[in-house]
Amino acid sequence: MSRYDNYETPLASRYAKKELGIDKITDEMIEQMKAKVVVSDEAFDVARAEEKLRRHDVMAHVHAVTDNTELIFMRDALDLILPKLAKVIHNLKEFALKYKDLPTLGFTHAQPAQCISVGKRAAQWIQELVMDLEDIEHVRAGLKFRGAQGTTGTQASFMEIFNNDSPKIDKLNEILCEKAGFPGCYDISTQTYTRKVDLRVANALCSFGATAQRIACDIRHLAHMKEIEEPFEATQIGSSAMAYKRNPMRSERITSLGRKLASLNVNFSNTFVNQWFERTLDDSAIRRIDIPEMFLLTDAILISLDNVTNGLVVYPATIRAHLMQELPFMATENIIMKMVSKGASRQEAHEQIRVLSHQASYAVKMEGKPNDLIERIKKTEYFKPVWSEIDAMLDPKLFIGRSAEIVERYCGQGGVVEQKLAKYMDYIKSSATAELSV
């Protein structure tokens, strides 16, 4: 067993005595402190026993685990989460680049709109995940230590220990931060570090929960349209009742977990609001539940997202079929402009298109027929000057604008995403895709 397997507070070492010259602390006292600060199963049993005896869980924490420990836990948890989030972003980056120029219908108000590309839609998901990465990195970088501050943050007890030598107290906290791996202590503390810290961390993680829901819901809608599906094993059962179904169960799980995570920051906000004066104890029970749950939810979502985003299945033929149902309407503006270039009146061309579009729309909606607008245009004598050019105007790639360029610029070599992921590449290259028990 390594000597680092057990937590040892910096105060329980000779280092403090040598560096700060506290002659009142004897070797025997140090050994007694060491015996009391080992974080083991027995230590947690002691905490439970103390709380039952004292009916005051702050005393339990004083006897076993301190407020500083929670900051260490959150810091280390964030360090575990960040590379996993980077892996999900990397998965989607590869997907976006692969399908950067595959045309697909865009949707506004859930109605067919101007074409985009499959990769362009994925790039939007990536951008939102990158925002989460930035937010989580920001709160991680901003985490500090509470340090040795005393009962209400005045350091009065330490003034007694150090004979009113303020610089030695500052030096003590420098040592504590150095040993615990923090850049410094919060400038102001009360009996605890401010619960604003918990809220800041929660806001970043809960925002990711919202992003996860949004991506998973898009995938579920795409699965409904049979355009894109999450991974589906050969022996997987899509529905207990209907054998033909391929229910997007993984994305549904992500949605469910994301909904729970996205709502947790309200608890942290209310806890922060109700820390009266130097602290109250109504933060204790809820933080015991919500801090671990917040990180466990985030981790579970990232495991599922890694699995889904690294195995998305695309059906180009279905995507094109849906696109071609709407493309004739989108192509009409190009047809009008081509007619005008040949000397026709734009007003007249527009009216001709309007009448034919309404006829084709009626056939689609009322008669269940395919969109035959192009065939109607080809049979209308007015449009004879452009009949030979109409088919060329129906290439879907003519309607996706700069989608491919936008994806390449954002996700490609030297782009924003590559820069954001640079520090995580060792983890990304060495980690296997998460496997799920659906």
**R_g of the chain computed on alpha carbons:** 31
Do 155 and 149 touch, CB atoms closer than 8 A?
yes
The whole-angstrom separation of Cα 327 and Cα 393 is 10
| Close Cβ partners of 119 (under 8 Å, ≥ 6 residues apart) | 95, 96, 97, 98, 99, 100, 101, 102, 403, 404, 407, 411
Q: Which residues pair with 314 in a beta bridge?
A: 228
- Cα–chain-centroid distance for residue 285? 26
Among 263, 246, 249, 335, smallest CA distance to 297 is for: 263
Active-site annotation holder among 2, 109, 430, 437? 109
338: amino acid identity, one letter: K
Do 260 and 208 touch, CB atoms closer than 8 A?
no
Rounded (10°) CA dihedral 33, 198, 208, 143: -60
Active-site annotation holder among 239, 341, 345, 361? 239
The whole-angstrom separation of Cα 220 and Cα 238 is 14
C-alpha distance from residue 86 to each of 39, 177, 214, 222 (Å): 32, 28, 18, 24
- Annotated catalytic residue 63: no
- Annotated catalytic residue 109: yes
C-alpha distance from residue 131 to each of 27, 118, 125, 211 (Å): 51, 21, 10, 10
Residues recognised as catalytic: 109, 239
